[in-house]
Amino acid sequence: MPKTLTERLDAARGSLGRGLGDVARRGPPAVAFWLVALGIGIAAGVAALLFRMGIERLQAWIYGTDDILTLHSFAAGLDWYWVLLAPVAVGLAVGLLLHGFTDDGRVRSVADVIEGAALTEGRVETKRGLVSALASLITLSSGGSTGREGPVVHIAAVLSTYVARALKADGVTGRDLLGCAVAAAVSASFNAPIAGALFAMEVVLRHFAMHTFAPIVIASAAGTVINRLAYGGVTEFTLPAQNILEFYVELPAFLMLGLVSGVVAAVLMRAIFWTEDLGDAVQARAGLPRWVRPAAAGALLGALAIPFPHVIGVGYETTSLALTEGLMFREAVVFCAVKVAAVAITMGGRMGGGVFSPSLMVGALTGLAFGLLATAVFPEFSGERTLYALAGMGAVAAAVLGAPISTTLIVFELTGDWQTGLAVMVSVSI
């Protein structure tokens, strides 16, 4: 026994010595990288905040209101020619900007960040990225039917690229820096720290390596603090009451909603691809300069917005109406179809912006329409109809992004409703 105890003490001392050696060797570089991650998180959070404020200021100048939650109601009271001409003028400005500063007239977004993480050691195009951010800012300010998450993610990637070049970082470090910047930007844009961290790992880096977890969480928390200093700790959407799920008997309905949401998501993506191809064909056949394309898309978008001002902008007001059961079945179906068309026109017309926020609106409308139908057919087995809107919002967005984990969490953080996780998870996974 004494010999065994002595051997164990010697082994413990040896392990402790090796551990202290590891701390002495690896600790300072790790702590230094965490400080860099904190700095990147603050910078990306400020950039996302300034981008959002810039949209609000320009929107107030163009439409007379800086509140994104009441944009379509305000635009509905404007003269028809203003609703039509504003997107045309802005589309022309975007077209000239992209024509002069990019080689292909295309706005950079999340897909380019994913490509940078996979193929170019975490680096993205900086000059074209900044021009794309400006083009997206102008588009979203004029009521372009896209979202701000794509531009802010690319802005964050541009910042991390500058830092990686300054530090002469290798591929692994460059990707880690990219993940930190993206996490902070998403968190600052949506006040969603958990989803921001997971979005960076699930969508951009495409892995959950342990060495990236701490710095990405630090950056994500920094971005959230930046958001809350400006906007407080409120959620993007406010639900009127706690949703109630009639467990077991109602779950098959959410399985069906998942299938329907997957089809709607596929239609949305196919519509964007089809519009892109159609724009290429028309542009080539007519011999039009590429700067005309966003202006033509703006004309189509403005014409669509005259009878349906709901398609203007990100769509938070209509999404809120769907989550609070403020729409009827016919309205939900029609607005969903019109929004898909508006997103396809904006994206295919190369006006700029992201697709995540529009997919939230399309999903909420899909879920509400399904819920109104399901609860009308089986009222005795049904809970709250707005729960279907919440689940549909997550299901369509997850299918569009290919990111079920971070999308599920961002739905919870956007609404503050954590009691309906089973219904949302079932629909998202299907």
Tell me, yes or no, if the two domains 2-231 and 251-429 fold the same way. yes
DSSP string, 196-256: HHHHIIIIII----HHHHHHHHHHHHHHHHHHHHHHTT--SS--SS-----TTTSHHHHHH
Alpha-carbon distance values, 358 to 6, 110, 146, 196, 403 (Å) = 67, 15, 6, 18, 16
Residue with tokens 């998450």: 149
User: In DSSP terms, which residues pair with 425 in a beta bridge?
Assistant: none
Torsion of CA 262, 267, 269, 275, to 10 degrees: 180
Tokens representing 361 are: 């609106």
Given this model, what pLDDT does residue 21 score?
67
Over range 263-290, report the average pLDDT: 92
What is the topology classification, in CATH, of domain 2-231? Clc chloride channel (1.10.3080)
What's the mean per-residue pLDDT of the chain? 85
pLDDT in tens, 150-186: 899 999 999 999 999 998 888 888 999 999 999 999 9
Given this model, what pLDDT does residue 179 score?
94
Over range 203-213, report the average pLDDT: 87
Provide the 3-class DSSP secondary structure of residue 354: strand
Residues contacting 261, CB < 8 A, separation 6+: 363, 366, 367, 392, 395, 396, 399, 427, 430
Given this model, what pLDDT does residue 22 score?
65
Given this model, what pLDDT does residue 406 score?
86
Alpha-carbon distance values, 320 to 152, 231, 310, 370, 420 (Å) = 23, 18, 12, 17, 17
**CA atoms of 294 and 32, how far apart (whole Å):** 45
pLDDT in tens, 218-270: 999 999 999 888 887 666 666 655 555 555 677 888 899 999 999 999 999 99
Given this model, what pLDDT does residue 2 score?
58
Neighbours of 270 (CB within 10 A): 12
Does CATH place domain 251-429 in 1.10.3080.10?
Answer: yes
Neighbours of 305 (CB within 10 A): 26
Given this model, what pLDDT does residue 144 score?
80
Tokens representing 106 are: 């295309």
What is the three-state SS of 22-89?
Answer: HHHHHHHHHHHHHHHHHHHHHHHHHHHHHHHHHHHHHHHHHHCCCCHHHHHHHHCCCCHHHHHHHHHH
Tokens representing 178 are: 């990219």
pLDDT in tens, 336-369: 999 999 999 999 888 888 888 899 999 999 999 9
pLDDT confidence of 4, banded at 50, 70, 90?
Answer: confident
Confirm if 121 and 205 have CB atoms less than 8 A apart.
Answer: no
204 vs 379, which has greater pLDDT? 204
65 vs 97, which has greater pLDDT? 97
Residue with tokens 């800012």: 137
Provide the 3-class DSSP secondary structure of residue 309: helix
Say what percent of the chain tops pLDDT 90.
34
Confirm if 148 and 314 have CB atoms less than 8 A apart.
Answer: yes
Over range 391-420, report the average pLDDT: 84
Pick the closest to residue 202 from 40, 35, 356, 398 (CA basis): 398
Helix (H), strand (E) at residue 324: none
Given this model, what pLDDT does residue 66 score?
65
Residue with tokens 């999404």: 319
pLDDT confidence of 25, banded at 50, 70, 90?
Answer: low
Provide the 3-class DSSP secondary structure of residue 185: helix
Over range 97-117, report the average pLDDT: 88
Residue with tokens 């607005």: 335
Torsion of CA 136, 138, 139, 142, to 10 degrees: 150
pLDDT in tens, 320-340: 888 887 888 999 999 999 999
**Per-domain boundaries in the chain:** 2-231, 251-429
Given this model, what pLDDT does residue 277 score?
93
